[in-house]
Structure 1
Amino acid sequence: MKKTLRALFILLFFWFALALYFTNRIMYMKKKDEDFILNREKDAGRFNPKDFESRPKREVAIASPFGYSIKAVLVEPHQTNRYIIISHGVTETKINSVKYMNLFLERGFNALIYDHRRHGESGGKTTSFGHYEKFDLKAVVDWLKIEIGHDIILGIHGESMGAATMLLYAGLIEDGADFYIADCPFSDFQQQLAYLIKKDFKLYPRLLLPIGDVILRIRDKYSIRNVSPISVIGNIKHPVLFIHSRKDDFILPTMTKELFEQKNGPKMLYIAENGLHAQSFNENRVDYERVVDEFLQKYVEPALST
C-alpha cells in the first residue's frame, strides 16, 4: 500500500512539475534577442534604418489598462485619414512590423507599430497569447482615434499571436476597425497547445492541459479555453483577409481555413505556396501584395466612395 501511495505521489509530483514548466513556457516564452531581430530585418532588406529615421514620425507611450506603458511609433508621411495598426507576433518586436508598415505606407496609409506587453520597450510581466493583449490593442485603437479623430479609416494587420489578438479584440471587445488582415493566426489556443504538446513533448495533451490550465488560472488569472478566436469570429462584421503559408508546421493552415469558413460577411483567403510560419510575406512578396491590393480594392475602396 505504501509503495502504491509513494508511486502515486511521485506521479502526481511529476505531472505538477511538468505543468509548472508548461505554464512557464506560456507566460515567459523565450523572446528573440532584439539585436537579432534588428539585424535579421536589416540583412534581409526589410528594414532600412536611414529610411525609417527619415519618416515623419513620433514615439508615443500609450497607457495599458494593466498599469504599464505600451510603446509605439506613429508614422505619418501622408495627409490622409487612412491608418493601419500593425500587431506583431510572439517573441518579435515592432521592428518586425516595419515591413508591413512600409507595404501600407506605399498604399497611402499612415501607420502605427507597437510592442506587445513583455516585448520590446513595452511593460508587462507575462505573455498571454491574446488574452491580455487584446485589451492593450483596444487601448492602442482608442488612443489613435482620440489623437487623430474617430472618422479615420482604420485597418489592423496582425501576424501570428498578433493576428489572434486582433481577432479576439474584434470579436470579443469591439469590431473597432474598418478592415482586418489576419496572417497565420491560431483558431483556438487550447487546440494549438494540444498540437504542440504532441509535436514537441511527445505527450498526451489531455493529461497535461487540464492541470496546466488550473495552474495558469492561479498564476496569470485566465484560462487557456478563453483564448479562442474561432469562438468569436462570427461577431466580426467588417472585412477580414486571412493569410497563411501552406507549409506552416507551427500553426497549421487548417486553423486559418476554419476561421475563414466561420467568418460571416466580407472575407478573403490567401494560402501562400512558400515559406513556413509567419513567412508568407517574406517568401511570397509579389503575391502577398497583390492579394492585399485585391482585398483593399474590393472592400475598402468602395466604402470610401460611398
Structure 2
Amino acid sequence: METTVKERKPSRLARRVGIAVAVVVVLVAAVIVFASNYLVDYAIGRSGDGGNREVALEVDPAAEGVELTIAQNKASQETASEAFLSSNPGQNVSISSSDGLTLAGVWYPNDGHRWVIAIHGYRGSHLDATALAQHYHDAGYQILTPDLRACGDSEGDYVGMGWLDRKDILNWIDWVLTQDPEAEIVIHGISMGAATTMMTSGEDTPDAVKVFVEDCGYTSVWDVFSSELQLRFGLPEFPLLYTAQAMSSLKAGYSFQEASAIQQVARCEKPMLFIHGTLDDFIPFEMLDELYNAKPGDNKQELVAEGAGHGEAMYALGETYWDTVFDFTDDYLSQPAA
C-alpha cells in the first residue's frame, strides 16, 4: 500500500522573513551603489566637492616655529608671482588628447632650450603652478603650465588623478618638441601634478625629457583615497572603495588600483627628485620613502621639508628648495641656461 507524503509549504512567517531579507539586500545594494556613485562624483567629478578639505592631523609642537617661515615665504611668493604674471602674460595654447578632449595650457617663452612642464595639483589650474613658473623662468627656462583634464580651461568630466593625465603629458611633450626640437625638458609637479609626473615617468618618454621632480605625490590613487576615506568619513576600504572603483572604471575610464605612481616609478630609469613635507596631512609623509625606494638606480635624491604641510615644502625650505632643484636638474642638462 502506497503512502503519500505531502510537501510542506513554507509558513506565512517564513515567506515574510524571506521577503524582508530580500528587501534588505536590495536596499543595502542600492545604498552602496548610490554611495559609490556619490564618492566618484565627489572625488573625481569635475564639479565635485573633493577639494574642500578641512581634515588635519595634530601638529607637532616642535614644528610650530616653521609656520611663521611658511607664512612669510607664501606672502613673498604671492608678490613674486603677481610680478611675474604682470611682466609675462604668457600665450594660451591647446592640444587634443587621444580621447578627443581639448586641453588648454599657457606657454611662457624664454631664450634657450631648457624647458619645464610645471603641473598643478588636485582640482587646480595652470595658475596654481605660477610659483614654479616664476622660479624656472628666472633660471632661464621656457615654461609650459597645462591645465590637466577636467581642470581649468581643459575639457573633461572626470579628473584623471595623474593616470589619464600621463598620456596627455606625453602629447604636451610632443607639443614642446614641435616648438623647439632642441628642447631639454624637466617635468615638475606638485600633489596630483607630482603623481602625474611619476606616472609619466614610467612611460616611454622621448630623450628630450631629462629629469622628473615630484613634490608631495602619492603612491597610488587607491592608497590616497583609502587614507581620505578613513580621515574624512571614518570608513574602511571595504566595501565602498571597491564598489566606487568599479564605478570609476565605468564612468571615468580607470580604476583606482591601476592608477599607481609607485608601479610607474619602478619603471623609471631617468633622474628623479622626491620632495615631501613631514606634516603633510593629505598625502602621508611615509609615501616619500616608498616611492624613493621603488625608483631603480642611483640617479635620485630626496628632499625633506621638516614641519611642512601639504604642498608647503617650497615655503618651509625657501631658497634651499630651489637650490636643491636646480643643482639636481643642472647635473642632467647639457643646454646652458638662458
- What TM-score do the two structures reach when normalised by structure 2? 0.81
1:37-76 equivalent positions in 2, closer than 5 A: 44-48=78-82, 51-55=84-88, 57-76=90-109
Higher relative helix content? 1
Provide the aligned length of Structure 1 versus Structure 2.
294
Q: Identify the range of structure 1 (185-194 vs 58-67) with the bigger mean alpha-carbon deviation.
A: 58-67
Structure 1 pair 20/173, CA: closer, same or farther in 2 (3 Å)? Answer: farther
From 111, 122, 129, the equivalent of 1:97 is 129
1:1-306 equivalent positions in 2, closer than 5 A: 1-28=18-45, 29-30=48-49, 44-48=78-82, 51-55=84-88, 57-78=90-111, 80-149=112-181, 151-174=182-205, 177-265=209-297, 266-297=299-330, 299-301=331-333, 303=334
Structure 1 pair 101/43, CA: closer, same or farther in 2 (3 Å)? Answer: closer
Structure 1 ranges of 4+ moved more than 4 A: 40-43
Structure 1 residue identity aligned to 2:227:
Y
Give the corresponding residue for 1:37. Answer: none
Tell me if structure 2 keeps the 8 A contact 1:41–1:96. no
Gaps of 5+ in 2: 1-17, 53-73
Distance in 1 (alpha carbons) for counterparts of 2:254 and 2:325: 35
Distance in 1 (alpha carbons) for counterparts of 2:206 and 2:39: 33
Q: CA deviation at 1:42?
A: 9.4
Q: CA deviation at 1:175?
A: 6.1
Structure 2 residue identity aligned to 1:96:
D
Tell me if structure 1 keeps the 8 A contact 2:149–2:156. yes
- State the Cα deviation string for residues 87-115 of structure 1 (Å, max 9, x = none): 11112111111111111112221111111
Q: Identify the range of structure 1 (129-138 vs 169-178) with the bigger mean alpha-carbon deviation.
A: 169-178
Structure 1 pair 9/94, CA: closer, same or farther in 2 (3 Å)? Answer: same
Tell me if structure 2 keeps the 8 A contact 1:157–1:181. yes
- State the Cα deviation string for residues 154-202 of structure 1 (Å, max 9, x = none): 1010111111112111203536610010011101111111111111111
Distance in 2 (alpha carbons) for counterparts of 1:140 and 1:172: 14
Q: CA deviation at 1:47?
A: 2.1
Cα RMSD, aligned residues only: 2.3
Gaps of 5+ in 1: 34-39
Q: CA deviation at 1:263?
A: 0.5
Structure 1 pair 141/43, CA: closer, same or farther in 2 (3 Å)? Answer: closer
Q: Which has the larger radius of gyration?
A: 2
- State the Cα deviation string for residues 264-299 of structure 1 (Å, max 9, x = none): 1200101101331111113322221122133134x3
Structure 2 residue identity aligned to 1:197:
L
Structure 2 residue identity aligned to 1:61:
S
Structure 1 pair 82/219, CA: closer, same or farther in 2 (3 Å)? Answer: same
Distance in 2 (alpha carbons) for counterparts of 1:93 and 1:274: 26
Structure 1 pair 205/31, CA: closer, same or farther in 2 (3 Å)? Answer: closer
Distance in 2 (alpha carbons) for counterparts of 1:188 and 1:246: 19
Distance in 2 (alpha carbons) for counterparts of 1:188 and 1:175: 24
Q: CA deviation at 1:32?
A: 7.0
Structure 1 residue identity aligned to 2:41:
N
For the residue of structure 1 that corresponds to 2:163, the secondary structure is coil
Q: CA deviation at 1:75?
A: 1.2
- State the Cα deviation string for residues 124-167 of structure 1 (Å, max 9, x = none): 22112012111111111111111211x31110101111111121
